[in-house]
Amino acid sequence: MEDFKAKAIVRGNMVQPEHDIALQDTDRLQGRAALVNNVKAAVALAGAVRSTLGPRGLDKMLVDSDGSSLVTNDGVTVLETAQIEHPTARLLIAASSSQDKVARDGTTTTVVLTAELLQNALEMVRSGIHPSVVINGYNIAQKECLRELDSLSRDPSSKSELESVVSTSLAGKIGDSLGEHLTALAIRAAEVISKEDGGDDLERLRVKRLQVSGGSSSDSELVSGLVIAKTRLDQSTPNSRKGGRVAIIDGGLENPKLEIDAEIEVRSAGVLQGFHKRTMENLQEQVSHLLSLGVDLLIVRDGVADEAISMLREAGITAYRRFERNDLEMISRLTGSNIVRGIGRLRGDDVGTYENRSENVTAGVSHTAIEGSKGGAMTVIIRGSSPQIREECERAFDDAIGVAFRLTRDSRMLPGGGASQTHLARHLRTFAPANKGREQIAIEGYAAALEVIPRSLAENAGLSPIDEVLELSASQASDPDNGSWIGLNAWTGEKARMDKLGILDPLFVVSNSISGATEAAISVLRINDVLWAKQDPLTPDWKEGEDQED
């Protein structure tokens, strides 16, 4: 990019000695060189993930600088892991992360679509259309698409159709039977947490993922409550209890530590005994404090002194130690307890309540499940023989529950397999002429960009992208009633009704990918637009030959 700038400035000065005209010329070339450069970055980035799109997309193996590796088919994982610094590329990655956050799926689609929108924008700009006209046209097209998707969508007509919407999001990431299993778990968990209050992150806050080695991924299961791979400190305390009061300590129940080089002068047996007595008193004070607050369940991040174990038992308190911070936070949310730095600082209103605590052996490992009074939590126990398999299974479950949970709030669905985008492209082509002026061209450019989705799905399935897109469009047009639900089955290559095959995407995933991609493309165009600002948008003002990019 630095190179382009330098060239443009030199050229500007040489060609046109008049100062202001030279500057104007420079600005224009800089603007276009910047756009070319930004589009190149976007296209390169999209190229990196495009081959993962769809059920027959390829997996990518990501290798870290320390040699550790990760195999994934997940676009956003690829992008977030890659170390990319180009500002436009960062913007695309941000768009894909935001898609992940809002919709939990459709991340690859968003990036691929953004790059295609930019590429088409560049072509229009080269043919003399001002970027602000492209931006206008794209905005009009986006609005029309969102409206059109709303009217194309419908609610699932059966539980099995709902399951198809969730399992489509897993297609190609994991095997079919595991996909069905995870789909069932995700829908069950989503139903439970949909009754809770909370924002978009509820399915992350209320559903814990616990990886347990061994077994196969299809042994993964869902259990109610927060499950932690730990048992109580003292096996002679009760292994379950229905309801009670819980204190959470970000610290321990331990003896005050002696400084390493502190010297205790032992002149007589009495000194040592006195010291021991004081530490015992200190521990007993802490236990009595817990007892006075009605605590029967103590959870600490650090350790519990051996001497305190019997004191706790006598006080009827069951204790757990060495909890991870995340688990402490989850229990805190479920029970309404505050996490306090030391038992001495604990006040009555820091103590929360739980509904149930029980210990079971799940997947061959002892676990404790805790259910809070402030709402339910679920834990999905992810099984698998290797850490990579478990990670991929967890990511697949993340997608499934993300989609399943959002479907409890808006269950409308659309045909997958490129059908929705093909429908939109067809619709925009009839809609474009109704618009004024050059925006029409931008709307058509937008329509063509949408077809990158069926095109990539076909390409990744080893089919001819051009023929498939044409045939798909023709099949849709041949049936005015339900044609728009015809998409490409990437497994067989047939063009068929996607609702009949259960290849279905949630409306919120498709709409968000369209608005996210449009916004990202427009913000890249705007960067360049600043440099174009001086020009009249209606004057075509440069010729193809002026390009500097190669």
Instruction: Report, in Å, the least distance between residue 159 CB and ligand ADP.
Output: 19
Phi, psi of 238 (to 5 degrees): -60, 145
Contacted entry of Mg ion, ligand ADP, none for residue 503, CB cut-off 5 to 8 Å set by kind: ligand ADP
Comparison of 335 and 421: residue with beta carbon closer to ligand ADP: 421
Instruction: Report, in Å, the least distance between residue 142 CB and ligand ADP.
Output: 18
Catalytic member of 108, 114, 183, 368: 108
- Taking contact as CB under 6 A, which single stretch among the options 106-114, 202-210, 243-251, 367-375 is the one that binds ligand ADP? 106-114
- Give the integer Cα–Cα distance in Å for 550 and 545: 11
Comparison of 75 and 376: residue with beta carbon closer to Mg ion: 75
Judged by CB under 6 A, which of 152, 171, 226, 432 binds ligand ADP? 171
Contacted entry of Mg ion, ligand ADP, none for residue 244, CB cut-off 5 to 8 Å set by kind: none
Q: How many residues bind ligand ADP (CB under 6 A)?
A: 23
For the window 473-502, what string marks contact with ligand ADP as x by the rule CB under 6 A? ---------------xxxx-----------
In angstroms, the first-to-last Cα distance of the chain is: 11
Neighbours of 219 (CB within 10 A): 14
Asked if residues 498 and 88 have their Cβ atoms less than 8 Å apart, the reply is no
Buried-exposed string 486-507: b where 16+ CB fall within 10 A, e elsewhere:
bbbbbeeeebbbbbebebbbbb
Tokens of 519: 């916004």
- Give the integer Cα–Cα distance in Å for 527 and 522: 9
- Give the integer Cα–Cα distance in Å for 326 and 515: 34
- Give the integer Cα–Cα distance in Å for 56 and 61: 16
In 3-state terms, what secondary structure has residue 414? strand
Does 456 engage in binding with ligand ADP (CB under 6 A)? no
Comparison of 352 and 416: residue with beta carbon closer to Mg ion: 416
Catalytic annotation present for 368:
no
Instruction: Report, in Å, the least distance between residue 169 CB and Mg ion.
Output: 5
Does 520 engage in binding with ligand ADP (CB under 6 A)? no
Contacted entry of ligand ADP, Mg ion, none for residue 491, CB cut-off 5 to 8 Å set by kind: ligand ADP
Catalytic annotation present for 349:
no
Comparison of 116 and 505: residue with beta carbon closer to ligand ADP: 505
Tokens of 72: 């994934």
- Give the integer Cα–Cα distance in Å for 266 and 276: 13
Catalytic annotation present for 74:
yes
- Give the integer Cα–Cα distance in Å for 330 and 324: 10
Does 179 engage in binding with ligand ADP (CB under 6 A)? no
Comparison of 134 and 453: residue with beta carbon closer to ligand ADP: 453
Comparison of 88 and 456: residue with beta carbon closer to ligand ADP: 456
Does 416 engage in binding with ligand ADP (CB under 6 A)? yes
Does 75 engage in binding with ligand ADP (CB under 6 A)? yes
Binders of ligand ADP among residues 274 to 303 (CB under 6 A) are none
Instruction: Report, in Å, the least distance between residue 202 CB and Mg ion.
Output: 20
Instruction: Report, in Å, the least distance between residue 503 CB and ligand ADP.
Output: 5
Provide the β-strand partners of residue 174: 171
Contacted entry of ligand ADP, Mg ion, none for residue 52, CB cut-off 5 to 8 Å set by kind: ligand ADP
Contact positions toward Mg ion, by CB under 5 A? Answer: 105, 169
Catalytic member of 25, 74, 350, 398: 74
Asked if residues 441 and 129 have their Cβ atoms less than 8 Å apart, the reply is yes
Catalytic annotation present for 318:
no
Judged by CB under 6 A, which of 459, 505, 519, 529 binds ligand ADP? 505
Contacted entry of Mg ion, ligand ADP, none for residue 255, CB cut-off 5 to 8 Å set by kind: none
- Give the integer Cα–Cα distance in Å for 477 and 181: 37
- Give the integer Cα–Cα distance in Å for 540 and 117: 21
Does 519 engage in binding with ligand ADP (CB under 6 A)? no
Q: Is the dihedral of CA 459, 86, 126, 449 positive or negative?
A: positive
Amino acid identity of 300? V
Q: Using alpha carbons, list the distances in angstroms from residue 179 to 54, 55, 136, 165, 387.
A: 15, 12, 42, 12, 18
Contacted entry of Mg ion, ligand ADP, none for residue 252, CB cut-off 5 to 8 Å set by kind: none
- Give the integer Cα–Cα distance in Å for 421 and 398: 25
- Give the integer Cα–Cα distance in Å for 239 and 529: 67
Tokens of 440: 């029409």
Instruction: Report, in Å, the least distance between residue 6 CB and ligand ADP.
Output: 39
Q: Which residues are catalytic?
A: 74, 107-108, 399
Contact positions toward ligand ADP, by CB under 6 A? Answer: 52-55, 57, 75, 105-109, 168, 171, 416-417, 453, 457, 488-491, 503, 505
